[in-house]
Amino acid sequence: MLAEERRQRVLDLISEPEIQLPVDIPRMADGVSTMVQRALESFLDGKAEVAEAVLQMDGIVDRMKDEAFVVLVQKMHDDPSCTRQALDVLLIARNLERIADHATNIAEDVIFWVRGADVRHGGAHYRE
C-alpha cells in the first residue's frame, strides 16, 4: 500500500502547475546516493576511512534538509498557492535525509567493527 501512496504522490506532483522552488533536490539526492555507495563500500571492504567520509557527509545532508525546510516554509508563507508542491518537496528532502541517516548507521557500525570505536552520537569511545 505504501508504494501505491508514493506513486500517487508523484502523479499528483506532476499534475500540479510547475513552479520554481529554491531547493536543489537533485544535488541532495546525489549526495545521499554517494553516502549509500560509500557506506556499502566501507562495509564490504572493511574500510573505516571510507566510513568516516560518510559521517562527514551526513552533516552536509542534514544542513541541506534544514535549509530546505526554512526556505520552503518561507515560500509557502509568501505564496500559499505553492503549498502543495512545497510540502511534497519538503517530504522528499526529509526522506532523503532519513536515507542518509541509514548510511551513517552502517558507517558507524563499520568503524566499530574495524576499530572498536563507538562513534555514534558524535562520540569516539574505544571499548575493550
Is residue 69, in this structure, part of any structural domain at all? yes
Cα 29 from Cα 62, distance rounded (Å): 12
Domain that holds residue 113: 25-118
Count up the domains in the chain and report the number. 1
Retrieve residue 74's grid coordinates: 518561507
* pLDDT tens digit sequence for 65-75: 999 999 999 99
Residue 126 in this model has a pLDDT that exceeds 50 = no
Is residue 41, in this structure, part of any structural domain at all? yes
* Torsion region of 69: left, alpha or beta (phi above 0 gives left; psi -120 to 50 gives alpha): alpha
User: What pTM does this model have?
Assistant: 0.81
Is residue 12, in this structure, part of any structural domain at all? no
Retrieve residue 7's grid coordinates: 506513486
Is residue 101, in this structure, part of any structural domain at all? yes
CATH of the domain at 36: 1.20.58.220
Is residue 38, in this structure, part of any structural domain at all? yes
Identify the CA nearest to 19 among candidates 67, 88, 65, 69: 88
Residue 2 has a pLDDT of 66
